[in-house]
A and B are shown apart, each in its own frame.
Chain A
């Protein structure tokens, strides 16, 4: 699985720990900048501190961090929406799971990592969704009625609401287009045939 690694590596040597009053404390600002926001800081803290204390006795060398996603430019095989297959056949639940999975991969910087730009019904032609499942903003409603969900809607709502919207959109859809950007790559247009036969679900 060859990986093209950019030469513009951003390498940093930094310890997300600061000295204060003779104590070693987590540098929360630094941790946040590294992408460990909010309660993640607390979870990571234990690992860092325990490791740091052990390493302090073991070696005097510096603790290093490399800010770089080693998986960038690696073409995933799963989820299928990020794979190299341009045409897919997925069950409705499977497609919802895959969309949810990619949405959950959102990075702090939206231009990094995978992203879904939208889901559009291609077939049946002239698709109309008569009864949207909930009250939505006017623009969103118009798009949904015409068979399109914009990425803002996918990312803004809770998984439950997103699931309800996708259920409504996909309920009569036969073929949809998912516009997706795999990690570190250009945007792809995936054509997904929504299988109405029960498919083995990827989550078992």
Chain B
């Protein structure tokens, strides 16, 4: 039984280029892509918690495993509301060529998640917290991620 939410998830994934659940990096990318889908206002009700690689939704993982075949056959999502359609295009453009860059996605989603939860934190504190998760994320990288999110009005600090 595929729920309405899982069907919409499948059609979203079809539109943004499919999903790779065989590899960890693919699953990580999926988590972060749908995280940002919700950040852009397309709310599918996936609740995210702070896990080892930043925001993670167990119920998204469950749904994604149930719709692997459906993603290959379902029509890509298309919105009749012009404003929604253009917002969705913004969402796709947001990733650019880094749509499947798991490390980049982990970085920007982690920064976004913590910045939303702790709006009073300084950039330095935010960077330190992200580095606790992944020491590869230097202060410079975190700074760039913040600027990237701010430039797209996804973060106001």
Q: Which residues of A contact B (CB under 8 A)?
A: 1-3, 5, 9, 34-36, 39-40, 43-44, 47-48, 50-52, 55, 58-59, 61, 63-71, 74-80, 82, 94, 97, 100-105, 107, 113-114, 158-159, 183, 199-204
- Interface SS majority for chain A: loop
B56: chain A residues within 8 A (beta carbon):
47
Given known contacts A43-B61, A70-B55, A101-B5, is B49 in contact with A200 (CB within 8 Å)? no
B76: chain A residues within 8 A (beta carbon):
204
- Interface SS majority for chain B: mixed
Contact call B116/A48, Cβ cutoff below 8 A: no
Given known contacts A101-B44, A203-B7, is B62 in contact with A64 (CB within 8 Å)? no
Contact call A97/B77, Cβ cutoff below 8 A: no
6 closest cross-chain pairs (CB), A and B: A105-B45, A100-B4, A204-B75, A200-B80, A76-B43, A77-B41
Q: Give Cα distance in the complex from A76 to B45, angstroms.
A: 10
Contact call B47/A107, Cβ cutoff below 8 A: yes
Q: Which residues of B contact A (CB under 8 A)?
A: 1, 3-8, 11, 14-15, 24, 27, 38-45, 47-53, 55-56, 58-59, 61-62, 65, 74-81, 83-84, 87, 113, 116-119, 132-135, 153-154, 156
A113: chain B residues within 8 A (beta carbon):
45, 47
A13, closest chain B residue (CB): B50
B58: chain A residues within 8 A (beta carbon):
34-36, 40, 43-44
Contact call A202/B51, Cβ cutoff below 8 A: no
Given known contacts A66-B117, A70-B117, A200-B78, is B49 in contact with A158 (CB within 8 Å)? no
Smallest Cβ distance from B69 to chain A, in angstroms? Answer: 16
Contact call A51/B51, Cβ cutoff below 8 A: yes
Given known contacts A9-B117, A66-B117, is B51 in contact with A48 (CB within 8 Å)? yes
Q: Give Cα distance in the complex from A65 to B133, angstroms.
A: 11
Partner of B116, one of A58, A70, A82, A105: A70
B59: chain A residues within 8 A (beta carbon):
35-36, 40
Contact call A70/B48, Cβ cutoff below 8 A: yes
Contact call B117/A5, Cβ cutoff below 8 A: yes
Q: Give Cα distance in the complex from A148 to B54, angstroms.
A: 43
B49: chain A residues within 8 A (beta carbon):
34-35, 65-68
Contact call B8/A101, Cβ cutoff below 8 A: yes
Q: Give Cα distance in the complex from A127 to B7, angstroms.
A: 32
Contact call B4/A114, Cβ cutoff below 8 A: no
4 additional A-B residue pairs with CB within 8 Å, beyond A76-B41, A101-B8: A1-B153, A5-B116, A51-B51, A103-B4
Q: Give Cα distance in the complex from A58 to B131, angstroms.
A: 11
Partner of A77, one of B48, B61, B84, B156: B84
A82, closest chain B residue (CB): B43
Contact call A114/B80, Cβ cutoff below 8 A: no
B52: chain A residues within 8 A (beta carbon):
47-48, 51-52, 55, 63
A91, closest chain B residue (CB): B80
Contact call B50/A35, Cβ cutoff below 8 A: no
Smallest Cβ distance from B50 to chain A, in angstroms? Answer: 4
Contact call B27/A1, Cβ cutoff below 8 A: no
Q: Give Cα distance in the complex from A9 to B84, angstroms.
A: 31
Contact call A114/B45, Cβ cutoff below 8 A: yes
Given known contacts A103-B4, A159-B3, A203-B11, is B42 in contact with A78 (CB within 8 Å)? yes
Smallest Cβ distance from A97 to chain B, in angstroms? Answer: 6
